[in-house]
Amino acid sequence: MKQFVRQGLDNVAAMDRHLQGLRLGVVAGGASIDSNLQLAVDLLHERYTVIRLFNTIFGIRGEFIYGEHTPHYVDDRTGLPVYSIFSAERNAPSLEMLVDLDAIVFDLREVGVRYYEYLYCLAQVMKSCAAAQLPLFVLDRANPLGGLVCEGTVCGPDMHTFVGDYGLAQRTGLTIGEFAQYVNQEYGLGCPLTIIPCLGWRRSWLLDDTDVPWVLPSPSLPRLESILLYAGMCLLEGIQTLSEGRGTTMPFELLGAPWLPADALVRRMNNRSLEGVRFGRVHYVPRSSKYAGEVCHGVQIHVLDKQRISPVRVAMTLIEEIRELCPDQLQWAPSTVGHDVKPPGSSREFTAYFDMLLGTERFRTEGLTADQLLAYYGEDLERYKKTSQRYYLYD
């Protein structure tokens, strides 16, 4: 039986208490829906005084493809102006964009993984609101991966990128509202912040334990299994010669290449006896992205137990085994393949995008195993857990 959960957008009593009578700007997207599948932009526009909209990546209604240049347009349904705040020109609203607003409402569906850009979009919006002393209301959403497990490497204090910042673990264990509280307090942003909480959510629940409607947060995350594996398999975006399944119907659940010895890799991975997962041979042809139109031989990751699988360990172990089998085949993508977005400014420079995603060069340059790397970050991960727990909103 699905557990009854309502997102911040469904928490009408709290929204009315805070938003009535204010001139609002809204940051939202195509996956920002309520329990009746209604878009946040329409609901907020109908109920309150919304005068301006802000687009991050896929459009206010999810109407654009990734990377499409849309600095300014008018939303067809509401007639409101929409400004892009995630582009080569800017990564946050300018003070001019905030003129005549009494507050900003932020509602984006995040996936509980630090590479996912919406965390950094929110942090940048918070900085703009702090500079203007403009109230920010974050409509919270349940973390689809639950709120009990944190996993992976932890960003160092000198790392400030759109795929890693704020001392986060790869699997964050936070809702987007909890992240807002965490970053506001721990990093002294000074944002006038209010969280409109979810109703009924518990940290032990994954998204498919609840009655929350499933809507793709982005085109490459079609299923909960995709999101779960994305916490580790996104690292393959930093390897030019391995397909992570983009261009298929199962991105991040498939891994392959024309040169990959799939039988040997499947055998070695299953011999590792990783919890909650098995590996099977697969052949596929990506229709876009790496190896488009070519037959890839590879591995399908079968998630047997969503609660027990450790996706970062799975991905790192796959890369470790491929490195052992075919050490000359891995080619690392340069850090410039990342986002075509104005960078936030980092004192730490990465030459490889894989290192930027992972938050360290050590696995690539020192030949560490997956177990060695994760053990190295064990104490940092425990510190992150203890710190982030201070900002929990749910049991």
Q: Where are the domains of the chain?
A: 8-214, 224-335+365-372
Give, in words, the CATH class of 8-214: alpha beta
In whole angstroms, give the CA distance from residue 183 to residue 37: 30
Model's pTM, two decimal places? 0.95
Q: How confident is the model at residue 44 (pLDDT cuts 50, 70, 90)?
A: very high
In whole angstroms, give the CA distance from residue 322 to residue 261: 9
Task: Identify the CA nearest to 317 among candidates 390, 266, 352.
Answer: 266
How confident is the model over 16-37, as pLDDT tens digits?
999 999 999 999 999 999 999 9
In whole angstroms, give the CA distance from residue 247 to residue 239: 16
Q: Using the 8-state DSSP alphabet, how is residue 4 labeled?
A: P
Instruction: Specify the pairing of strand 103-107 against strand 23-28.
Output: parallel
Radius of gyration of the chain (CA): 21
How confident is the model over 212-223, as pLDDT tens digits?
999 988 888 999
Q: Has residue 339 got a pLDDT over 70?
A: no
How confident is the model over 46-84, as pLDDT tens digits?
999 999 999 988 788 877 766 556 668 899 999 999 998
Mean pLDDT of the chain: 94
- Computed from CA positions of residues 199, 200, 202, 205, in that sequence, does the dihedral angle turn out positive or negative? negative
Neighbouring CB atoms inside 10 A of 203's CB total: 18
Q: Has residue 385 got a pLDDT over 70?
A: yes
CATH number of 224-335+365-372: 3.90.1150.140
In whole angstroms, give the CA distance from residue 153 to residue 164: 10
